[in-house]
Amino acid sequence: MTETPETPARSWLTRLAIYGPLLLFAVFVVFVGSQLGRETRVTVTSKLIGQPMPAVNLPGLGGAPGLTSADFKTGKPVLVNVFASWCIPCRVEAPQLARLTAMGVTVNGIAVRDAPDDVAAFLKTNGNPFTRVGLDKTGQTQITLGSSGVPETFVIDGRGIIRYQHIGEIRPEHIALLMAKLTEAGR
Amino acid sequence: MNTNTIKPGMKPKHQRLVLLGLALAAMAGALALGISALGTSATYFYAPSDVFAHAPAPGEAIRLGGLVQKGSVQRLPDGLTLAFRVTDNARDVPVRYTGIVPDLFREGQGVITEGHFDAQGTFIATSVLAKHDEKYMPPEVAGSLHKVQGKVTS
Amino acid sequence: MIVELGHAALWLAAAFALLQALAPWLRAPADDAERWTGLAVPAALAQALLVSLAFGSLVWAFATSDFSVKLVAENSHTMKPMLYKLSGVWGNHEGSMLLWILVMAVAGAAVSLADSPLGDRFRALVLSMQGIIALGFYAFLLAASNPFARLAIAPTQGNGLNPLLQDPGLAFHPPMLYAGYVGLSVAFAFAVAALLERRVGPAWAAAVRPWVLAAWAALGCGITLGSWWAYYELGWGGYWFWDPVENASLMPWLAATALLHSVAVLAKRDALRNWTILLAVVGFSLSMIGTFVVRSGLLTSVHAFAVDPARGAFLLVLLALYIGGALLLYALRASTVAVGEGFAPVSREGALVANNLLLAAGLGVVFVGSGYPLLVDVLGVGPISVGPPYFNATFGPLMIPLVLLMAVGPFLTWGAARTDKLARKLAVPGLLAVALALYAFAVWDVRAAFSLIGFALSAWLGVATLAILWGRMPWRTPRATWGMALAHLGVAFTLFGITASGALTRELLVNLRLGESAEVAGYTMKLVDVAPVAGANWTALEATLDVSRGGQPLTVLHPQARLYTSPMMDTTEAAIHTRINGDLYAVLGKPDGSGRWQLHVWWKPFVIWIWAGGLIMALGGALSMTARASARRSAAQPVGALVAA
């Protein structure tokens, strides 16, 4: 190799082979990172965080008292769980809601676009963790709450201000987070 | 192991470039092969509402996912074929499946079925999964059910 | 108390990992570097001991059902059989992370105790890399997912473990898989150390070879166990589904397969230097990506399943640092590694290069197929799935030339190979390959071209591999040759099993009353009884099926429909009668309400060969591993070749 060995070896092909893997991996990291970012956004931001809870006046189930704005001004932070009998993730989170109730948390439910009989059956099979259940037949309350689907869970402080929105089902690992948010809201 | 006795056809450096070219060509070829195969063999996932929005052609292999509609499961006289409806609580689709349904199959449960539509609009399932992921629920089903806003109550 | 000790041991182990990571870099002014470097080995041993203690204390907590430990409460149950209480230790996120670190520390101890042909300084560097990798996962474990966390109020009973996971096959599947994944970390550490020390060459290759083989064999075992579990536990007779979790284990295996072949070329011919290093880095990178990205659910983007973003971000940063760092080092140093030797295209090394290209291409298509649904989902086109049709259409064709070459390669010599005798040597395998394909066509009535090719290739590879050993004195044949022959034979077995069970499976779906019978592939099944039975934590309906062939009673099958009590869940337990030429596989379905029971029975010819082949491959790898002394002697090189310029 007496004739200028560096020139052919430094061709674009060589560079591609040397830096290619690093570039590919960088693309991968950016892709996964943007995924993470997306989920973070979905999970934490809501226009209503820090805003007062919109007026709520929902009928209850089978003659039981419904859910009204007064239920959110008791001085004690509460959870509001937006659910429906036709929603599978809502069944998955039922044990977590039960655990939260057992830990002394007040949980109110809003059943969205649902028939009273179905809701009653749902609560019978999956347990009823709710202090109050309001029936939101048209989905209007859900929309004013800024909720786009079920299940979602809101932390409301004792003065009726929305402090936190949890989108998707509550998994066992989310309980600590929700408890922390409730404690924070209670201060 | 005396390397001097070997007479390679090319100088190592040139040979390395050829190898490099081959390697890159192989990877590019694999990529092209993969992408062309994806075009023909990726299976699209449909929720019942999607079927009504843009119907798949009869015979096209798709996955259909949703809940087994309450009260819809019927066993046909042969004792082996099940007829049921898969719903996302907005629309529902008739499904037929011959075989033993998985352990988690029951009314109201989430399922994913693989198969195709026949000319009459019945989904002929070749497999029914109530997949055993960590939460016992296929993510696609959970996702599509979350997206559907709900049924219109009477 | 024991649990707190375990927690403390884990912290101490992390401290030793830090010492291990720093040892070769410390240089006090008045001190000589040797003293510090020498600390790496004792640090690695101490770390391994302490992690074993930590792991042992968690095992203790599971064995005694200490529900004040959160992890035990969430994943165990007093009614569970002891074996599954123990396997529950790693049947969850935190415990499996601890297992990962345990295996890593044990691998570090093995590196410490084995000879170090490249010198103590190089070993200290390898251990340092392992320490650095381990530290990241200690941080993750201790800060974000502490397995020893206590509950304020201990529940009286635990949540239980998914019954599908209560199975001996699955109990040992993760530890084997992890041994493979983490074994590749040794190759990774060797590669990084070689780049730092500029010692890429035959001596390096000979030193790293046993580690690659060990990891490859363990990974192969793990994949085989997982596939076998899926086959008998899931109750639909499938053994490989190309789902992301399976692909996550297949990709490192493909990389490791390529690596162990390119390591051979580097050891013998001093060629493929950069490529080998890159493969070592990629192999472990895929292991980490597989375990932490896919399994943690980071990429299942449906937000009902979103993983805690902080946890995900932590893992991502960790991966970016390790993999990105190694690839950056590779990019910076690769151009300074001197070009290795060249070689003739028709030669052992030429065949091995082709093997590497095909394996890399196979890896590429699996990666594309696994990643595409995620990409599509992000682009918002809607969920799609990429299943067996894609992989059969892409991975399959790539394996055809690979298997063709596998039979030829061992007959080629290193350097420019003579080809005149090749045709004679390969005549018998070629003839038998055609014969088997014709037999399958005529007697078994196989018409699919893909299946016929599969039969031909398995005979071609199997016979050619036997021909390597033919006429050789078994005790004079090098152990490495035995290992290679066994591994290739294993591939032939697996290929035959896959082809035969795919092409010749017979299936029967019937509704039987008690006393009625049905027939599949010449076997007569008579439904004698359906009765309730009970186990430790389940009850079941069990069918009794008398199987006979030609009037001769053969066996009795007992398929069950089980109901587990903790947690509540139905499963089907398939009854399998295994013979060398095929499996009878029976599943009991639901009653149809008129006194008839659904039965689904398969005759799956030669299906056991698939896993037998997998185990034979792993055995071949293990045998080759013990042959390292001879490999090192024969790879003795002039000093100039050892040290890359």
C partners (3+ CB pairs within 8 A) are: A, B
Q: Which two tokens stand for residue B29?
A: 């070829």
Residue B4 maps to a domain: no
- The pLDDT confidence band at residue C420, using thresholds 50, 70 and 90, is confident
pLDDT exceeds 60 at position B134: no
CATH number for the domain running over A57-186: 3.40.30.10
Which residues of chain B lie closer than 8 angstroms to C369, CB-CB?
Answer: 34, 38
The last residue of one of the domains, among C108, C133, C166, is: C166
CB A119 within 8 A of CB A148: no
Vertex A151: Cα angle to A145 and A152 (nearest 5): 40
Q: Which residue has the higher pLDDT, C379 or C513?
A: C513
Q: Which of B61, B45, B37, B36 is nearest to B145 (CA)?
A: B45
Vertex C64: Cα angle to C61 and C70 (nearest 5): 40
Q: Quick one: A176 exposed, middle or buried, by C-beta within 10 A (0-12, 13-18, 19+)?
A: exposed
pLDDT, position B5? 39
Return phi, psi of residue B129, to 5°: -115, 135
Q: Are residues B86 and B20 in the same domain?
A: no
Q: Using a pLDDT cut of 70, give the percent of chain A over it.
A: 81
Q: Which residues pair with residue C533 across a beta bridge? A: C540
pLDDT, position C489? 95
Q: How far apart are CA C637 and CA C643, in angstroms?
A: 10
CA-to-CA dists, residue C332 to A13, C2, C129, C329, C535, angstroms: 16, 48, 18, 5, 61
- The pLDDT confidence band at residue C279, using thresholds 50, 70 and 90, is very high
CB C373 within 8 A of CB B35: no
Q: How far apart are CA C457 and CA C454, in angstroms?
A: 5
- The lowest-confidence range among B10-24, B37-51, C183-197, C472-486 is B10-24
Q: How far apart are CA B67 and CA B89, in angstroms?
A: 8
Q: How far is C285 from chain B (nearest CA, A)?
A: 18
Q: How far apart are CA C99 and CA C109, in angstroms?
A: 15
B partners (3+ CB pairs within 8 A) are: A, C
Vertex A39: Cα angle to A36 and A43 (nearest 5): 140
- Residues near B129 by beta carbon (within 8 Å), at least 6 away in sequence: B102, B111, B112, B113, B114, B138
pLDDT, position C60? 92
Q: How far apart are CA C372 and CA C386, in angstroms?
A: 8
Q: How far apart are CA B125 and CA B91, in angstroms?
A: 18
Q: Are residues B58 and B104 in the same domain?
A: yes
pLDDT, position C595? 80
pLDDT, position C423? 83
Q: Are residues B15 and B72 in the same domain?
A: no
CB C626 within 8 A of CB C204: no
CATH code of the domain containing B116: 2.40.50.140
Q: Which residue has the higher pLDDT, C539 or C54?
A: C54
CB C241 within 8 A of CB C230: yes
Residue C512 maps to a domain: yes
Mean pLDDT of chain B: 71
- Which whole number is the average pLDDT over C153-174? 70
Residue C119 maps to a domain: yes
**B28 lies in which domain range?**
10-41
- Residues near B106 by beta carbon (within 8 Å), at least 6 away in sequence: B68
Mapped onto helix, strand or coil, the DSSP state of residue A164 is strand
Q: Using a pLDDT cut of 70, give the percent of chain C over it.
A: 87
- The pLDDT confidence band at residue B143, using thresholds 50, 70 and 90, is very low
Q: Which of C71, C246, C233 is nearest to C161 (CA)?
A: C71
pLDDT exceeds 90 at position C15: yes
Q: Return the top range by mean pLDDT from A16-20, B106-110, C463-467, C595-599.
A: C463-467
Place of tokens 């869970």: A153
pLDDT, position A8? 44
pLDDT, position C300? 46
- The lowest-confidence range among B56-70, B123-137, C357-371, C497-511 is B123-137
Q: Which two tokens stand for residue B42?
A: 């990726």
pLDDT, position B112? 80
Number of other CB atoms surrounding residue C475 within 10 Å: 5
Number of other CB atoms surrounding residue A24 within 10 Å: 12
Q: Which residues pair with residue C180 across a beta bridge? A: none
Q: Long-range CB contacts (< 8 A, 24+ apart) of C136-140?
A: C136/C318, C136/C321, C136/C322, C137/C97, C137/C100, C137/C101, C137/C104, C137/C318, C138/C10, C138/C13, C138/C14, C138/C17, C138/C101, C139/C14, C140/C97, C140/C314, C140/C315, C140/C318
pLDDT (tens digit per residue) in C314-352? 878 888 999 999 999 998 887 666 666 667 778 888 889
Inter-chain contact C304–A35, Cβ cutoff 8 Å? no
Q: How far is A89 from chain B (nearest CA, A)?
A: 6
**C545 lies in which domain range?**
506-604
Q: Long-range CB contacts (< 8 A, 24+ apart) of C426-431?
A: C426/C464, C428/C463, C428/C467, C429/C459, C429/C460, C429/C461, C429/C463, C429/C464, C429/C467, C430/C460
Q: How far is C251 from chain B (nearest CA, A)?
A: 15
pLDDT (tens digit per residue) in C114-126? 888 888 889 999 9
Residue C560 maps to a domain: yes
Regions of chain A short of the pLDDT cut 50: 1-9, 39-45
Q: How far is B152 from chain C (nearest CA, A)?
A: 23
pLDDT, position C21? 92
* Minimum-distance CB partner of C385 among B45, B127, B135: B45
Sheet with C597-604, edge to edge strand ranges: C506-512, C597-604, C582-591, C575-579
Inter-chain contact A18–C324, Cβ cutoff 8 Å? no
pLDDT, position C458? 96
Q: Which two tokens stand for residue C578?
A: 């295994």
Which residues of chain A lie closer than 8 angstroms to B150, CB-CB?
Answer: 84, 86, 112-114, 139, 150
**Domains contained in chain C, number:** 2
CA-to-CA dists, residue A59 to A56, A83, A116, angstroms: 10, 15, 10
Q: Return the top range by mean pLDDT from C381-395, C451-465, C615-629.
A: C451-465
Task: Show which of residues 273-332 on chain C sit within 8 Å of chain A, judged by CB atoms.
Answer: 274, 278, 281-282, 285, 289, 293, 298-299, 301, 303-309, 312-313, 316, 319-320, 323-324, 327-328, 330-331
Q: How far apart are CA A78 and CA C204, in angstroms?
A: 64
Number of other CB atoms surrounding residue A13 within 10 Å: 17
Query: Residue C447 carries which DSSP code?
Result: -
Mapped onto helix, strand or coil, the DSSP state of residue C382 is coil
Assess A16–C contact: CB distance below 8 Å, yes or no: no
Instruction: Locate the chain B residue with the closest alpha carbon to C513.
Output: B79
Q: How far apart are CA C258 and CA C353, in angstroms?
A: 9
Q: How far is CA C174 from the centre of its chain?
A: 9
- The pLDDT confidence band at residue C645, using thresholds 50, 70 and 90, is very low
CB C311 within 8 A of CB C318: no
* Strand-strand pairing, A78-83 and C517-520: unpaired
- The pLDDT confidence band at residue C164, using thresholds 50, 70 and 90, is low
Inter-chain contact C304–B75, Cβ cutoff 8 Å? no
Which residues of chain B lie closer than 8 angstroms to A149, CB-CB?
Answer: 146-147, 149
**What residue ranges do the domains of chain A occupy?**
6-44, 57-186
Q: How far is A21 from chain C (nearest CA, A)?
A: 7
Q: How far is CA A1 from the centre of its chain?
A: 65
Would you mind telling me the total number of residues written for chain B in this entry?
154
Write out the residues of chain B at the interface with chain A, using a CB-CB cutoff of 8 A: 11, 13-14, 16-17, 20-21, 23-24, 67, 89, 110, 135, 137, 141-142, 145-147, 149-154
Q: How far is A177 from chain C (nearest CA, A)?
A: 10
Q: Return the top range by mean pLDDT from C165-174, C308-317, C455-464.
A: C455-464
Residue B97 maps to a domain: yes
pLDDT exceeds 90 at position C611: yes
- Which whole number is the average pLDDT over C248-274? 91
Q: How far is C592 from chain A (nearest CA, A)?
A: 26
The last residue of one of the domains, among C135, C166, C197, is: C166
Q: Are residues B28 and B93 in the same domain?
A: no
Inter-chain contact B103–C571, Cβ cutoff 8 Å? yes
Inter-chain contact B143–C383, Cβ cutoff 8 Å? yes
Secondary structure (H, E, C), C194-251: HHHHCCCCHHHHHHHHHHHHHHHHHHHHHHHHHHHHHHHHCCCCCCCCCCHHHHHHHH
Q: Which of C110, C100, C113, C265 is nearest to C182 (CA)?
A: C100
pLDDT, position C16? 94
Q: How far apart are CA C429 and CA C11, in angstroms?
A: 58
Secondary structure (H, E, C), B5-70: HCCCCCCHHHHHHHHHHHHHHHHHHHHHHHHHHHHHHEEEEECHHHHHHCCCCCCCCEEEEEEECC
Q: How far apart are CA C182 and CA C102, in angstroms?
A: 10
B-interface mutation test, from C394, C395, C516, most B Cβ less than 10 A away: C394
Q: Which of C397, C501, C499, C403 is nearest to C451 (CA)?
A: C499
Which residues of chain B lie closer than 8 angstroms to C569, CB-CB?
Answer: 103-104, 136
* Minimum-distance CB partner of B142 among A89, A112, A115: A89
* Type and span of the H or E element at A109: strand A107-112
Mean pLDDT of chain C: 84
Q: Which of C528, C540, C557, C507 is nearest to C237 (CA)?
A: C507
Inter-chain contact C305–B135, Cβ cutoff 8 Å? yes
pLDDT, position A89? 67
The last residue of one of the domains, among C115, C148, C166, is: C166
pLDDT, position C301? 35
Inter-chain contact B146–A8, Cβ cutoff 8 Å? no
pLDDT, position B78? 78
- Which whole number is the average pLDDT over C141-148? 84
Q: Quick one: C639 exposed, middle or buried, by C-beta within 10 A (0-12, 13-18, 19+)?
A: exposed
**Domains contained in chain B, number:** 2
Residue B5 maps to a domain: no
Instruction: Locate the chain C residue with the closest alpha carbon to A9.
Output: C335
Q: Are residues B26 and B56 in the same domain?
A: no
Which residues of chain C lie closer than 8 angstroms to B1, CB-CB?
Answer: 268, 634-637
- The lowest-confidence range among C58-67, C129-138, C145-154, C282-291 is C145-154
pLDDT, position C30? 56
Kindly provide the ipTM of the predicted complex, given to two decimals.
Answer: 0.78
Place of tokens 């493909």: C254
CB B93 within 8 A of CB B127: no
- Residues near C291 by beta carbon (within 8 Å), at least 6 away in sequence: C100, C178, C181, C248
Q: Are residues B115 and B59 in the same domain?
A: yes
Inter-chain contact B149–A139, Cβ cutoff 8 Å? yes
Q: Which of C72, C232, C250, C256 is nearest to C149 (CA)?
A: C72
pLDDT (tens digit per residue) in B9-36? 456 667 777 777 887 788 788 888 888 8
Residue B116 maps to a domain: yes
Q: Which residue has the higher pLDDT, C435 or B14?
A: C435
- Which whole number is the average pLDDT over C25-45? 76
Residue B3 maps to a domain: no
- The pLDDT confidence band at residue B103, using thresholds 50, 70 and 90, is low
